[in-house]
Amino acid sequence: MSNFSTRSNHEIDYKIVGEEMQYVEIELDPQETAIAEAGSFMMMDEGIQMQTIFGDGSNQQQGVLGKLFSAGKRLLTGESLFMTAFTNMVNGKKKVSFASPYPGKIIPLDLQQLDGRIICQKDSFLCAAKGVSVGIAFQRKLGTGLFGGEGFIMQKLEGDGLAFVHAGGHVFERYLTPGEILKIDTGCLVAFTQTVDYDIEFVGGIKNTIFGGEGLFFATLKGPGKIWIQTLPISRLASRIMSYGTFNRKEEGSILGGIGNMLDGDGY
């Protein structure tokens, strides 16, 4: 789509501030609205009104059951039923800012230039222009014993407005040519365009299944399309912090404890 075509979503301006711990500052014209995850709010000018809404507010014309259904999609992805809408209720431009939850980068995604749809990690969405729809892309069962029956869930962001996702560590883009295949740790995959073919594969071998070296599953991506990759998934960071904070240190997935750590190169 052209940059100059009319958007159906609210057309917001923005500025990303900072290096390691970023925040995005969104400028709202009168009656413009941004939606955000609960807990991402940082600060706002006087004149902006906050309102809790069901789901993402992308279709205010639907009935109560429709709103409950769309909000229920967020419940399936592990997110809250509710989001927060920030609306400029006065004349003149006003600003509202949303902060990243951990060290990394905020990625601006103009859905109008990305064919109206992006698939992303379920916990990466930060905020967006009103009208952007946040839903479930797919859910795949990977074994009740391994993931508590939840399976592997990705979110989809749809519309023609701006959306912002957050990723950990260093973040970079890669374009896959038609037929090109990339295998990547599921946690390192932030987002990809809808033209990319996606699957999950089991990683065989004793080191992966017993000692938890690189995890049990990885993602297989097939081009064409663009993907966004992060070097430090928050789950990996959290597991490392927990392992150093406990006396009996065990890596995620390890059944041998200290022996497994030594074989993985993490022993002392």
What pLDDT, on the 0 to 100 scale, is given for residue 161? 93
142-177 confidence digits (pLDDT tens):
543 444 444 567 889 999 999 999 999 899 999 999
The answer, yes or no, to whether residue 22 has pLDDT greater than 70, is yes
Residue 245 burial (CB count, 10 A): 8
Q: What percent of the chain has pLDDT over 70?
A: 68
* Closest to 29 (Cα-Cα) out of 10, 56, 53, 8: 10
More confidently predicted of 56 and 12: 12
Q: Are 136 and 73 in contact (CB under 8 A)?
A: yes
What pLDDT, on the 0 to 100 scale, is given for residue 97? 97
pTM above 0.85, yes or no: no
* Closest to 21 (Cα-Cα) out of 40, 5, 38: 40
- Kindly provide the residue ranges of all beta strands, DSSP E only, lying in 177-268, ordered along the sequence: 181-185, 189-193, 197-202, 217-222, 225-230
Determine the Cα–Cα distance for residues 135 and 159; give it in Å rounded to an integer: 11
198-223 confidence digits (pLDDT tens):
888 776 665 655 555 545 677 899 99
* pLDDT-derived band at 262, boundaries 50, 70, 90: very low
For the residues 181-198, what does the mean pLDDT come to?
Answer: 91
Determine the Cα–Cα distance for residues 194 and 155; give it in Å rounded to an integer: 12
For the ranges 6-10, 90-94, 211-215, the lowest mean pLDDT is seen at: 211-215
96-129 confidence digits (pLDDT tens):
999 988 888 999 999 999 999 999 987 889 999 9
DSSP structure class, residue 91: S
Secondary structure (DSSP) of 98-156: EE-SSSEEEEEEEGGGTTTEEEEETTTEEEEETT-EEEEEEEE---HHHHTT--EEEEE
Mean of the per-residue pLDDT values for the chain? 78
What pLDDT, on the 0 to 100 scale, is given for residue 217? 73
| HSE (side-chain half, CA atoms, 13 Å) at 117 | 11
